[in-house]
Chains A and B, each alone.
Chain A
Amino acid sequence: MRARLALAWLGLMLALPAAAADYVALPGGSFSSVLPADGKAAAAQVAPFRLRTEPVTNAEFLAFVKTHPQWRRDQVAKILADERYLTHWAAAGALGEGALPNQPVTRVSWFAAQAYCESEQARLPSWYEWEYAAAADATRRDARADPAWRESILGWYSRPSSKALPDIGGAPNAYGVRDLNNLVWEWVDDFNALMVASDSREQGDPDLLKFCGAGAISLQEKENYAVLMRIAMLSALKAADTTNNMGFRCAKPE
């Protein structure tokens, strides 16, 4: 009886891969982002937080849509996910050959990613949290000044996007977080905050009024092309958009 209970428990745990997701604590601190906090030069302040060590996989997302059917591709409201949402899966409730269990889930909208993270009592990381975590290499917490490291990250961007995605589980960085720079693009919570650019005080042209605020953003650390490309990608997307290579991971407060 006890053995059967234990088995049932084990089965339950296996059926809930989301519950098994690993998060590691990152100390945070002052961080020189490519996006200055004040739009000019101020460093970003990153509060201590926990980050999922790996991106969310197809298997994990499948378990989520089974318990949250409003996020099945055949039931989702189209204002929350575009028509490409999860189309690489064999069916609304099955992965198939085009979507292996341990590959990162892609073709998910920002809304869907948020809902998933909420199901894990988590949220999407902010851009600063993501950029801060992704600045680390295997041994250094901030490897960005190393041209060889920047070069190695850039290599990922030249990988053809038609190639099948590798599984999650790459080498951990100095914080123990994997797959940040070389697997998929990743949604961040404030994806629509990154390039709010024009200074509205330059009046005259009505288009300049599209953005209201205190300062235009000037990008810093321009030699860090890889990160700039991430920002350009995120800024180009709408919350319902999905792409072949856009996945996500979640974060939690400390």
Chain B
Amino acid sequence: MKRLLPLFAMFLLLGSARAATPLPGDSVYNLPVQLTDQDGRRQTLAERRGRPQLVTMFYTSCQMVCPMIIDSLRLTRNALDPATRARIDLLAVSFDPAKDDVATLKSYAQKRKLDPRIWTLARAEPAQVRQLSGVLGLQYRQLPDGEFNHSSELILLDADGRIAARTTRIGKLDPGFVEAIRKVVAQPRG
């Protein structure tokens, strides 16, 4: 916890500068998580406060469902009208910080043509990855061969980091989830 205190303090400062309203108790941004993105930029999870986020967890060496998770995020975003699309961000955090260093995330983003203005691929330290999975309600388990078993879900966070909707439908569009995004983006912020 001590290690996290400076982060926490920084986040409080940023929080007070950006949004005068206190963080709701059910916001995932109450969890201090230090992310590093595909360009090596460091950002706390809570710094994403202010815009709705589509969040998922994946890992780049995954051959099975993970490519479909990324496809599903893209598909979901593309199903939104341009105005709505412009008001959300995409965040995919790796289950596999040992292999997914910044360079690996970067080359994956380039290979999959993920525009860095829209997509954040991020890693965090292992203990924080486990905490993030806990707060998002995702499960994962590393296997002896280095692969992972993990739950595959897309999660919608509202501008304050509350989980507003989630879908386990991967590989094709979930219209209910798309509708939930529209509603959250249309919400006036209180």
What is the interface of chain A, defined by CB distance below 8 A to chain B? Answer: 37-39, 42, 68, 77-80, 110-111, 114-115, 118-119, 123, 189-190, 192-197, 200-201, 206-207, 209-215, 217, 238-240
A215→B139 contact, CB < 8 A: no
B172→A193 contact, CB < 8 A: no
- B142 to chain A: which residues have CB within 8 Å? 193
Q: If A111-B131, A210-B153 touch, does A192 touch B138 (CB 8 Å cutoff)? A: yes
- B130 to chain A: which residues have CB within 8 Å? 189-190, 192
B60 an interface residue at 8 Å Cβ cutoff? no
- Smallest CB–CB gap between A116 and chain B, Å? 9
What is the interface of chain B, defined by CB distance below 8 A to chain A? Answer: 1-3, 23, 25-28, 30-31, 62, 64-66, 68-69, 127, 130-131, 133-135, 137-145, 147-153, 168-172
Name the contact of A210 in the complex, choosing from B30, B141, B145, B151 (C-beta under 8 A). B151
B150→A212 contact, CB < 8 A: yes
CB-nearest residue of chain A to B72: A209
B133→A213 contact, CB < 8 A: no
**A-B residue pairs in contact (CB < 8 Å), sample of 10:** A77-B26, A79-B25, A80-B31, A111-B131, A210-B151, A211-B149, A213-B141, A213-B148, A217-B149, A239-B137
Main secondary structure of the interface of A (DSSP, over half): loop
A200→B27 contact, CB < 8 A: no
Roughly how many angstroms separate A111 CA and B168 CA in the complex, as a whole number?
Answer: 24
Roughly how many angstroms separate A80 CA and B131 CA in the complex, as a whole number?
Answer: 10
- B134 to chain A: which residues have CB within 8 Å? 110-111, 192, 238-240
A78→B144 contact, CB < 8 A: no
A37→B135 contact, CB < 8 A: no
A215→B149 contact, CB < 8 A: yes
A78→B139 contact, CB < 8 A: no
- Smallest CB–CB gap between A202 and chain B, Å? 11
Roughly how many angstroms separate A209 CA and B152 CA in the complex, as a whole number?
Answer: 7
B140→A196 contact, CB < 8 A: yes
B31→A190 contact, CB < 8 A: no
Roughly how many angstroms separate A189 CA and B27 CA in the complex, as a whole number?
Answer: 22
Q: If A79-B31, A196-B141 touch, does A207 touch B150 (CB 8 Å cutoff)? A: no
Q: If A114-B131, A206-B171 touch, does A214 touch B149 (CB 8 Å cutoff)? A: yes
- Smallest CB–CB gap between A200 and chain B, Å? 5
- Smallest CB–CB gap between B181 and chain A, Å? 19
- Smallest CB–CB gap between B44 and chain A, Å? 15
Q: If A79-B31, A192-B134 touch, does A200 touch B25 (CB 8 Å cutoff)? A: no
CB-nearest residue of chain B to A210: B168
Roughly how many angstroms separate A192 CA and B2 CA in the complex, as a whole number?
Answer: 25
Q: If A79-B135, A111-B131, A115-B1 touch, does A212 touch B149 (CB 8 Å cutoff)? A: yes
Roughly how many angstroms separate A112 CA and B23 CA in the complex, as a whole number?
Answer: 19
Q: If A209-B68, A209-B170, A209-B171 touch, does A37 touch B140 (CB 8 Å cutoff)? A: no
> Counting chain B CB atoms within 10 Å of each CB, which of A68, A195, A211 scores highest?
A211
B31→A213 contact, CB < 8 A: no
Roughly how many angstroms separate A119 CA and B2 CA in the complex, as a whole number?
Answer: 7
Q: If A196-B141, A206-B168, A238-B137 touch, does A213 touch B30 (CB 8 Å cutoff)? A: no
Roughly how many angstroms separate A119 CA and B168 CA in the complex, as a whole number?
Answer: 36
Roughly how many angstroms separate A80 CA and B163 CA in the complex, as a whole number?
Answer: 13
CB-nearest residue of chain B to A191: B134
B152→A79 contact, CB < 8 A: no
Roughly how many angstroms separate A98 CA and B29 CA in the complex, as a whole number?
Answer: 33
Name the contact of B141 in the complex, choosing from A115, A193, A209 (C-beta under 8 A). A193
For the complex with contacts A80-B135, A193-B142, 6 further pairs of A-B residues with Cβ separation under 8 Å are A37-B144, A68-B1, A210-B152, A211-B149, A211-B151, A212-B149
- B135 to chain A: which residues have CB within 8 Å? 79-80, 111, 239-240
- A190 to chain B: which residues have CB within 8 Å? 130, 141
